[in-house]
Amino acid sequence: MLHLIKQLAIRNDTKIVLLVADGLGGLAIEPGGPTELEAAATPNLDALVAENVCGLSLPVAPGITPGSGPGHLGLFGYDPLEFTIGRGVLEALGIDFDLGPDDVAARGNFCTVDADGRITDRRAGRIATEIARGLVEKLRDVRIEGVKVFVEPVQDYRFVLVLRGQGLEAEIDDTDPGRTGEAPLAPTALTPGSERTAAILKEFVAQAADILKDDHPANMITLRGIAKRPPIPQMEEVYQLRSAAIAVYPMYRGLARLVGMRILDAGRTLDDQIAALRRHWEEADFFFVHYKYTDAAGEDGDFARKVTCIEEVDAQIAEIVKLGPDVLIVTGDHSTPAKLKSHSWHPVPVVLAAGSCRRDEATAFGEAQCLRGGLGQLEAKYLLPLALAHAGRLAKFGA
Amino acid sequence: MLHLIKQLAIRNDTKIVLLVADGLGGLAIEPGGPTELEAAATPNLDALVAENVCGLSLPVAPGITPGSGPGHLGLFGYDPLEFTIGRGVLEALGIDFDLGPDDVAARGNFCTVDADGRITDRRAGRIATEIARGLVEKLRDVRIEGVKVFVEPVQDYRFVLVLRGQGLEAEIDDTDPGRTGEAPLAPTALTPGSERTAAILKEFVAQAADILKDDHPANMITLRGIAKRPPIPQMEEVYQLRSAAIAVYPMYRGLARLVGMRILDAGRTLDDQIAALRRHWEEADFFFVHYKYTDAAGEDGDFARKVTCIEEVDAQIAEIVKLGPDVLIVTGDHSTPAKLKSHSWHPVPVVLAAGSCRRDEATAFGEAQCLRGGLGQLEAKYLLPLALAHAGRLAKFGA
């Protein structure tokens, strides 16, 4: 599909906006009750739905609950089963680390080991971020010949390790044994090509163990999700789109950077983000605007707060519409029902607004109405091709 | 997809029940009239639909009418286009033959040949099963060095041949020329690896011809659908499910055995089957309950009897619900409209009941209502992943 789109994509001066309310899809708390989106007062989104086309987006496949990585790759038009992002890479993206194409990234955990080197706490008593910062500072003293080593704090007991150098490969097993009572595993290469990198990681772990030996409870580390950036075709090359991301959270800026988007200064609030959209309107063809708090409220199991967050998104719709995008899509990267307090596999409401929409019967934005929408239930990866089509940016296939 | 599910599947103590009413989907006899399912009084199924989610299951793909093999493989979560079951294997499963992974099975037909060896009747005048039994008994005298030969009666002029031994391969053409006036074809290997097995089959046919030469009308045989068991990943390994089958008919037990289900004593009636479900409730995580008579009535073109059969299924739903399954799916492996007196390609109504369902507007179990159900129209192979998701048995994909 991506190959086909690349063949057909053409440039013009249309504008596409993709507004992602993270974790938008929900569930009723009481049987027969409304979902978060149905409970919210969303006059602007309802008007979009009434005049355009809606449906339900399947982030990956029926039953599959996506993380943020696959959820967004799908929305950016990439098959999330074909392009997968390692945890180390995602962790690096999550702290805005500018990962190079040849860098190897790992998620690090501080842990506690006993006198025999066996893990007694895989999270080192969940030490505070401030303490972890100090330990990360110490780990920056590690020196390994032939590579540049970056150690960056994340949150609590978590950090990111990045190796930069020539010929590094990342087919290497986790060192976290996954349970207490065992010593951390040695970094083990799964392919001959990764052996040198495994040896470098082994050296890193040895130096780290020495540096941390008198620190309690964080006297050791484990490494997980060792990975390189996947080779993803860039949006400009595939879609002929100058694309830009306006995201407050680093993880989503990182995901956008992976596919070649320009990162705009998003500010701190959705208001700031819409202002940035307005300010940069002439500078790109495709804008990805990411709103985090719907997901956060869902994860917290806070139905009412998620409703309020959705209403906050709705209030900005009119501002976006004023800019006159040729295509506007509003959806989520997955569902995060407050009822489940977690990401879920449920399809996500989506509305696509454009002059060339074939209208459906839906009159308001919500899960039940979207079920009867003109887009049907479709895989998220088809939304971007649809946007391109409505923007007049896809040539005819075949004669 | 199967590979992905295998990566994500986790164990817990939830229970999933898949109740298959064979050939469930139907058609209205008169334009505008009800289908069999719509005509049936199904208060229990209607209640399930009203409180949960329904849809239409595509056994294979639009327009494709499946046999029982692909129909059930789809419901067990396997792509029926990827995993195919040869006719010889299916015939062996249909008589409860415990086929080994290296056995080669063929469907045999008794036929009539003239003095020149040309077939005059491909079914030997449809001889009675009792007569065929006697002939099969004679064929058991065939001896071939290096292999064990099994010959088993099926019904009328049909029998099963199984070869057991080392290094057998089954890429071998049918010997039935498909029309009268021609001699049976010699078993011909399609690959070098199958040449030895083809030679063994040739020897079997030669000895059989000699044994049967004075029997009329069944004085010859043909062999079709020569095949081995496909290498199907087992359910426990892929889904982390202890699975069990409760099926009265051997074919369905055989299909269940192919994917690694434990076969429970089903008794003779649906009552017996539900009693078996209750009795073995603690012993498995996934139960496949197969009900045959909806399909049989459809094949007979007996609309009224199919309605009665559906009502018999409905009456047992309450008993299943009482057991408290975390996920209950009721569907068919394909449609068998009485109007067509045969399997058909029409999508099959499905209801999925679980605590994490997003409800739809459907209030009763039937083809028209399922068309508006929340599951949409989805390939049968996605039902099991959905069941796993609702049972909390699938981890998140990607971070």
pTM more than 0.95: no
Residue A325 covered by a domain: yes
Read off the tokens for B388. 């796993």
The answer to whether residue A214 sits within a structural domain is yes
Tell me: pLDDT of B94 over 90.
Answer: no
**CB contacts, 8 Å: B395 with chain A:** 65
Alpha-carbon distance values, B274 to A370, B257, B287, B288, B322 (Å) = 38, 20, 11, 11, 11
- A93: nearest CA in chain B? B399
The answer to whether residues A101 and A77 belong to one domain is no
Q: Output b/e per residue, A163-172; b: 16+ Cβ within 10 A.
A: bebeebbbbb
Q: What's the pLDDT tens digit per position in A283-324? A: 999 999 999 999 999 999 999 999 999 999 999 999 999 999
Cβ distance A62 to B360 less than 8 Å, yes or no, reads: no
- Considering CB atoms only, which of A28, A67, A90 is closest to B359? A28
Mean pLDDT of B152-164: 95
Same domain, A263 and A383: yes
Same domain assignment for residues B318 and B237 = yes
Within 269-308 of B, beta carbons closer than 8 Å to A belong to none
Q: Is B398 domain-assigned?
A: no
Give the CATH number for residue B165. 3.30.70
Residues of A in contact with B376 (CB under 8 A): 56, 371, 376-377
In a domain, B397, yes or no: no
Phi-psi region of A225 (alpha: psi -120 to 50; beta: other; left: phi over 0): left
pLDDT score recorded for residue A184: 97
Asked whether residue B139 falls in the same domain as residue B189, the answer is yes
Residue B388 φ then ψ, to 5°: -60, -40
A237 and A386 share one domain? yes
Same domain, A79 and A42: yes
> Are B328 and B375 in the same domain?
yes
CA angle B149/B155/B157 to nearest 5° reads 80
DSSP per position, A108-122: EEEEEE-TTS-EEET
pLDDT reported for residue B399: 80
Shared domain check, A96 and A219 = yes
Q: Does A377 touch chain B (CB under 8 A)?
A: yes
B16 pLDDT more than 90: yes
pLDDT at B353 over 90: yes
Same domain flag for A210 and A158: yes
Smallest Cβ–Cβ distance between A69 and the set B382, B389, B398 belongs to: B398
Degrees (nearest 5) of the Cα angle A228, A231, A232? 125
A46 close to A349: Cβ distance less than 8 angstroms? no
Which residue among A197, A228, A259 closes a domain?
A228
Q: What share of chain B is helix, strand, coil (3-state, %, to 5)?
A: 35, 20, 45
Q: Is residue A153 part of a domain?
A: yes
Residue showing tokens 């707060």: A305
Beta carbons within 10 angstroms of residue B195's beta carbon: 15
- Report the alpha-carbon distance of residue A250 to residue A228 in Å, rounded: 18
**Helix (H) / strand (E) containing B236:** helix B235-239
Contacts with A367 from chain B: Cβ below 8 Å = 358
What is the per-residue pLDDT for B299? 95
Residue B396 lies in a domain: no
Q: Mean pLDDT over residues B70-93, rounded?
A: 95
The number of folded domains in chain B is 2
Instruction: Kindly tell me if the per-residue pLDDT of B119 is higher than 90.
Output: yes
Residue A105 and residue A204 share a domain: yes
What's the pLDDT score for residue A31?
87
Question: For chain A, what is the total number of helices (H) and then of strands (E)?
Answer: 14, 13
Instruction: Identify the domain containing residue A184 by its residue range.
Output: 90-228
Which pLDDT value is given to residue B59?
A: 98
The pLDDT assigned to A399 comes to: 86
Residue A213, Cβ neighbours under 10 Å: how many? Answer: 11
- What CATH number did the domain enclosing B66 receive? 3.40.720.10
| Number of Cβ pairs < 8 A linking chain A and chain B | 87
B361 occurs within a structural domain: yes
Question: Are both A223 and A238 inside the same structural domain?
Answer: no
- Domain end point (choices A228, A255, A285): A228
- Give the closest of B8, B356, B398 to A85, CB-based: B398
Which residues, numbered 316 to 355 in chain A, qualify as contacts with chain B under a Cβ-Cβ cut-off of 8 Å?
Answer: 337, 339-340, 342-346
Q: Which of B51, B374, B386 sits opposite A63 (nearest CB)?
A: B386
- Domain edge (last residue) among B228, B258, B292: B228
The alpha-carbon gap from A154 to the nearest alpha carbon of chain B, in Å, equals: 15
Q: What is the pLDDT along chain A (399 residues), one digit of tens a residue?
A: 899 999 999 999 999 999 999 999 999 999 889 999 999 999 999 999 999 999 999 999 999 999 999 999 999 999 999 999 999 999 998 898 989 999 999 999 999 999 999 999 999 999 999 999 999 999 999 999 999 999 999 989 999 999 999 999 999 999 999 899 999 999 999 999 999 999 999 999 999 999 999 999 999 999 999 999 998 999 999 999 999 999 999 899 999 999 999 999 999 999 999 999 999 999 999 999 999 999 999 999 999 999 999 999 999 999 999 999 999 999 999 999 999 999 999 999 999 999 999 999 999 999 999 999 999 999 999 999 999 999 999 999 998
pLDDT reading at B40 higher than 90: yes
| B56 and B102 inside one domain | no
> Within a domain: residue B275?
yes
